[in-house]
Structure 1
Amino acid sequence: MDKLSAMHAFVRVVEAGSFSAVARETQTTQSRVSKQVAALERELGAQLLSRTTRSLALTEAGERYFSQARRLVAEIAEAESEVFQSEQELSGWLRVAASVGYGRLKLLPLVKRFLAAHPKVKIDLRLSDGFIDLVEEGIDVAVRIGELSDSSLVAIRIGTTQRMVIASRPYLHALADGLKVPQVPQDLLQHNCIVYSELATQNAWTFTAGPGALAEEGTQVTIRAQGNLQTNSSEVIRASVLSGMGIGYSPTWLFEDEVASGELQVLLPDWPAPSLPIHLVSPPQRRQSAKVRAFAMHMASQ
């Protein structure tokens, strides 16, 4: 028995005064409505309605039950109406997670445009370079960069990001005698490399020979980067590279402006690093909210 449906049928029978009226209202048979109420009575172990051929009357137990059931049915209807309205209007909070660097440099401008388009939506932006459990933290949607390890998540691929090796000009100008600007990946072993510990491959930096490389095109090389600084923060990677502490291996968006201005130099341009997929992920559930779907479409269209 669907107890909620039976409760709703009972309430409507009392309010309408007959089984036939409810049957017409719900486009079903009088017999079905009567069976729903009878099943509810069996479930409760009490007679709720006194039936005669001409009228219906609430029993004492029925009066007590009707008072509570009508309130509960009304509250459920109100809750459903509020959910439907919020789904149509896109309102309320949307909890979004991303890494610190991506969130500040790439996501925040997109969030600004999304909020301008949906003025009734509020975004709680959670930025962390560490792992965030979406269910435990109550996150609606997150940006994940790299291959996904959790196949249970609902994922939408929204793009890719290239990676590059970069260094500041002061770092390169201050190289000790005999140390040259890297020409091949193996040259990085002689340099101070800044390692991002949140990278799935840790200090394993991979490159593929391009058309201009001094190697057969397509040759893949992986080196174990070494240096005096390792960090789990993309912001520290950014600050340390900009200050000339060493060489970084990072997504292009982390240093886009500085490369364009000439403040930083891209190294090994003939040895590109593998690109990384960018996904929007949300917790496994039967149906995504309208806010999540709208945010995903907004991100994918940028």
Structure 2
Amino acid sequence: MTWLPAWQSFVRVVEGGSMAAAARALGCTRAQISKQIAELERGFGARLFERSTRRLALTPAGEVFHQHALRALEAVANTELAVRNLGDTPRGILRVSATVSFGRHCVAPLLPAITAAHPELEIELILTDQLVDLVGDPIGPVDLALRMTRMPPEDAVARRVVSLRRVVCAAPAYLARHGTPRSPQELLQHRCMSYVLGDNKTWSLLDERGAEALVPVRSAINFNNADCMLDAVLAGHGIAILPTYLCHRELADGRLRTVLDGFEPNIVFGRDLYACYTPSRVRLPKVKVFLDALLREFQPVPPWERTPGGGLRGG
């Protein structure tokens, strides 16, 4: 790739604002940088910089080339990393994306054992409830994204990791004050917390035959974070739909009780969690060892469902 040094020099000039700054960053002379830029301009048949005594400014052609050069250099770097990682030993940085609550409670605790077993591996866990782009996300390329979704992306490899059960629950103190709802319609008389941006303040509950009950819910406080919702329910502020991976201990020790056990919450995200990654990551040992660790931990039954609290029913 004889073009690569010149493209790198061009990007460094843009970043540093001068050829002298680019030369310092690359450990070469200003004359070498100037020669490479001149060769690029001759090759493209267009000026890339407007030159003055004080500064360099990109021409319109330079602006277009800069955007394409950045993408090309990033692709080269990713290719080199992928090729290096095709050996048998997991190594390098593995960047994983997960939702905030699931990542914090269920993924983060696994990382020390994985990295201890593979000393050349470094894991970056990015927690966000926003949908990340596996290739072009602002946080950078993501090797593997854990997504709760009904439909995995068609342009990615998707492996189902675990099914997540959710329950309608409340604190015993709240139920003692306000009564226990026996049907979905009775929820209209209760403070039911909405998952902001997720349920449009309408709960969908499926009975044992799959018939759907749609219930508009209301509460003075609502959240877009399951941990905050759990804290509010424990404090007796209302009823919520919570995943059992988050609330199984509270169900087990009686701090929470389930209600409407004959109905399954029907969440817009679905109930399955998938590991999603691009086809170029399929053979990477670092992706394989991480995915293997997830499957060992969560299949055939996740740990929170193996405990009495995970399967507890009440109310």
Q: What TM-score bracket applies, with the shorter chain setting the length?
A: 0.5 to 0.7
Amino acid in structure 1 at the alignment position of 2:296: S
**Does 1:298 find its partner at 2:293?**
yes
The CA distance in 2 between the partners of 1:166 and 1:152, in whole Å, is: 37
The CA distance in 2 between the partners of 1:80 and 1:229, in whole Å, is: 49
The CA distance in 2 between the partners of 1:154 and 1:181, in whole Å, is: 44
Counterpart position of 1:16: none
Q: Which ranges in structure 2 are unaligned for 5 or more consecutive residues? A: 3-75, 298-315
Amino acid in structure 2 at the alignment position of 1:172: L
Counterpart position of 1:242: 234
Aligned residues of 1:86 and 1:92 also touching (Cα < 8 A): no
Counterpart position of 1:133: 133
Q: Which digits, 9 at most, give the CA deviation of each residue in 1:238-292, with x for residues without a partner?
A: 2211222111112211211111111001111122234601100124547442211
Counterpart position of 2:164: 161
The CA distance in 2 between the partners of 1:81 and 1:99, in whole Å, is: 26
Aligned residues of 2:96 and 2:124 also touching (Cα < 8 A): yes
Q: How many residues align?
A: 217
The CA distance in 2 between the partners of 1:81 and 1:251, in whole Å, is: 37
1:278 aligned residue (273, 282, 288): 273
1:226 aligned residue (199, 218, 226): 218
3-state SS, counterpart of residue 181 of structure 1: coil
1:143 aligned residue (140, 146, 155): 146
Aligned residues of 2:85 and 2:285 also touching (Cα < 8 A): no
Amino acid in structure 1 at the alignment position of 2:207: A
1:259 aligned residue (234, 251, 257): 251
**Between 288-297 and 256-265, the greater mean CA deviation after superposition:** 288-297
Q: Which digits, 9 at most, give the CA deviation of each residue in 1:191-249, with x for residues without a partner?
A: 111111243x4333222223xxxxxx443222222222222222221221122211111
The CA distance in 2 between the partners of 1:272 and 1:121, in whole Å, is: 40
Map 1:147-226 → 2, pairs under 5 A = 147-148=150-151, 150-175=153-178, 180-199=179-198, 201-210=199-208, 217-226=209-218
**Between 138-147 and 283-292, the greater mean CA deviation after superposition:** 283-292
TM-score by length of 1: 0.64
**Does 1:112 find its partner at 2:112?**
yes
Distance 1:288 1:91, change over 3 A: same
The CA distance in 1 between the partners of 2:82 and 2:256, in whole Å, is: 52
Q: Which digits, 9 at most, give the CA deviation of each residue in 1:78-115, with x for residues without a partner?
A: x9799446732111211111111101111122223322
Distance 1:89 1:194, change over 3 A: same
How far did residue 167 of structure 1 move? 0.7
Q: Which digits, 9 at most, give the CA deviation of each residue in 1:26-78, with x for residues without a partner?
A: xxxxxxxxxxxxxxxxxxxxxxxxxxxxxxxxxxxxxxxxxxxxxxxxxx9xx
Distance 1:259 1:291, change over 3 A: same
Amino acid in structure 1 at the alignment position of 2:160: R
Distance 1:140 1:81, change over 3 A: closer
Aligned residues of 1:87 and 1:291 also touching (Cα < 8 A): no
Alignment RMSD: 2.9
How far did residue 169 of structure 1 move? 1.8
Counterpart position of 1:87: 87
Distance 1:91 1:209, change over 3 A: same
The CA distance in 1 between the partners of 2:84 and 2:99, in whole Å, is: 32
The CA distance in 2 between the partners of 1:122 and 1:110, in whole Å, is: 13
Amino acid in structure 1 at the alignment position of 2:108: L
The CA distance in 2 between the partners of 1:208 and 1:85, in whole Å, is: 46
Map 1:17-96 → 2, pairs under 5 A = 83-84=83-84, 87-96=87-96
The CA distance in 1 between the partners of 2:183 and 2:147, in whole Å, is: 30
Runs of 4+, deviation exceeding 3 Å? 79-87, 283-288
Amino acid in structure 2 at the alignment position of 1:145: M
Aligned residues of 1:129 and 1:198 also touching (Cα < 8 A): no
Which structure has the bigger radius of gyration?
A: 1
Amino acid in structure 1 at the alignment position of 2:88: Q
